[in-house]
Structure 1
């Protein structure tokens, strides 16, 4: 009799267990990354290995492509440069034609991405100004480095016509083209050390060049998401000097439509096992929770991430109130402009 009662109770509880199961428990979360040779893909895979739900990564053309995929509902979570996150939220630069993405949400920022100029030593390129009249790879359409390079060219007053050749190759092809002598220089916004940069330096005696001067200073002054940056010496051999440049932050972003519980558990997985996450790549080794919550984020925080940060005492409601107030003021200003 007792066995029959226990069986009856178990049968009654089974449907309840299935109805309480999160909707995302059986469908893998897909995180948009970038080219497999970059740190984005490593970071995305590290996140998927650490969370407690099905998760996979999807290589892509880069930050712009990821942000467009989130806007179109093709991805819920992806990585993107902080400058492109800013432009997607504001509807500026390459996003001017489609306008602001009001549903884009920030989750956290990651490593710094110094804008890196790698040149053939025999090309005679000693600094940024020497790039004129050389063959340059500016990055494939949809990539963050291409967007940054075009912005830097605009600040300097250059167009593609100022170069003998402009290639738009993806990151996993540019170092080979450099070694074959088909291009003199390549640019890459990436965390270091990086396999593509290492390949160019090791196989064809390439070198990284400082990026500084008036054009760089103006770019940083005019854009809040850029900062002065440097690449530590010795990352690509004992004789490699430190390099001065500028850069952005890698950020994890999500659609407002992403399940708050899913984002909460993603964030909890990363920070509950933080040393393990940071050990997945040297570029992630200097991360701190405070920096990841505060730096490089323009979009409002996703509800699930905000819940975790509040529980940890890492963020105050005043920040959210300020962001909401600024958004309301911008909307009011737009309404007044339209009314005139």
Structure 2
């Protein structure tokens, strides 16, 4: 497992001396937290590295995150259940499923103490295929080798759900993004699903492949989207505008996932979450530099619009402080 520590040389020296940093934050001494993210080749990993930097800067070193490469949303939620991480990336849909023990978490114990902190992006799941494979509709993937995403990710779970709803049966594989890209180049698969960082900006993995191999994105027609959303009401559709990708002359419709930060009421206290929220919101420019799609997002508005589970009490307190109205259904009883 690759772990990127955000501890600075100064902070390491302070720790070795046994000192604590005093801040105006609610956190009176240093708190170390493990943060679950995604594949290191993913733009989501890059974003969460910047979140770690924002938290460390915004709390003046009172909260020290260790950013961990993981299998993304579903994997992060299971790690959180096992007590391996305190904070992590999860899509709104995966969080909703874990909270209710449905979908990817059917048959498991409900994560009734799971709480959402903030949402920062609505990510389109794009279907990337080799241009020479002549795939014009998802149904053309039937029986063909296809990579459904990072194992344990919401992208993998959603892709499998889409294929099941539409009665499509590819030869499905799952791997980290870098391996999916290599497999596409080598002809081991004819395509892969990837959560892009924005509907309006070409995904970096697509552009990397397209530099040496002609690829394209395949969308979903209206009837396919309607069928999948009928089966999975927590999904939503999003349009990728014409011209976003090379050779894309018309808009492409796909499903979206909302990327959020989650924790449990047991993993982080109300005061700790308040301080983390304050740091993330007030140090947003750090995240925008690393993840440009964040520039177009109002974290508060997106959180109240897309959350599928109650918000953490510390998050509620911070949002109230900055004047964000939260629907009653997002407040735990």
CA contact (8 A) 1:117 1:211 kept: no
TM-score, structure 1 as length reference: 0.81
Shift of 1:170: 1.6
**What secondary structure sits across from 1:183 in the alignment?**
coil
Q: State whether structure 2 residue 187 is matched by structure 1 residue 178.
A: no
- The 3 A distance-change label for structure 1 pair 282 and 227 is same
Q: State whether structure 2 residue 239 is matched by structure 1 residue 230.
A: yes
Please name the residue that 1:9 is paired with.
none
Give me the whole-angstrom Cα distance separating, in 2, the residues matched to 1:34 and 1:255. Answer: 19
CA contact (8 A) 1:251 1:296 kept: no
Give me the whole-angstrom Cα distance separating, in 2, the residues matched to 1:317 and 1:233. Answer: 35
Equivalent runs, 1:1-340 vs 2, <5 Å: 25-51=29-55, 52=59, 53-158=63-168, 162-163=169-170, 165-192=171-198, 193-237=202-246, 239-241=247-249, 242-257=251-266, 258-316=268-326, 318-319=328-329, 324=333
- Cα shift readout 1:105-143 (whole Å, capped 9, x = no counterpart): 000111111111000111110121211132111124312
Give me the whole-angstrom Cα distance separating, in 1, the residues matched to 2:192 and 2:116. Answer: 30
Shift of 1:278: 2.8
- Cα shift readout 1:149-186 (whole Å, capped 9, x = no counterpart): 1111221123xxx33x3222221211111111111111
Shift of 1:65: 0.5
Please name the residue that 2:14 is paired with.
none
- Cα shift readout 1:240-263 (whole Å, capped 9, x = no counterpart): 444321211111101111122221
Higher helix share: 1
- Cα shift readout 1:66-102 (whole Å, capped 9, x = no counterpart): 0001111111110011111110011101211113111
TM-score, structure 2 as length reference: 0.83
Higher-Rg structure is 1
- The 3 A distance-change label for structure 1 pair 151 and 318 is closer
- Cα shift readout 1:6-46 (whole Å, capped 9, x = no counterpart): xxxxxxxxx9998x997684343221100012122122111
Give me the whole-angstrom Cα distance separating, in 1, the residues matched to 2:308 and 2:44. Answer: 19
Give me the whole-angstrom Cα distance separating, in 1, the residues matched to 2:229 and 2:150. Answer: 23
Give me the whole-angstrom Cα distance separating, in 1, the residues matched to 2:313 and 2:124. Answer: 30
Please name the residue that 1:6 is paired with.
none
CA contact (8 A) 1:37 1:195 kept: no
Structure 2 runs not aligned, ≥5 long: 1-18
* Equivalent pairs, count: 304
Shift of 1:284: 1.7
Give me the whole-angstrom Cα distance separating, in 2, the residues matched to 1:150 and 1:66. Answer: 19
Please name the residue that 2:11 is paired with.
none
**What secondary structure sits across from 2:108 in the alignment?**
coil
Using the TM superposition, name which of 176-185 and 292-301 deviates more: 292-301
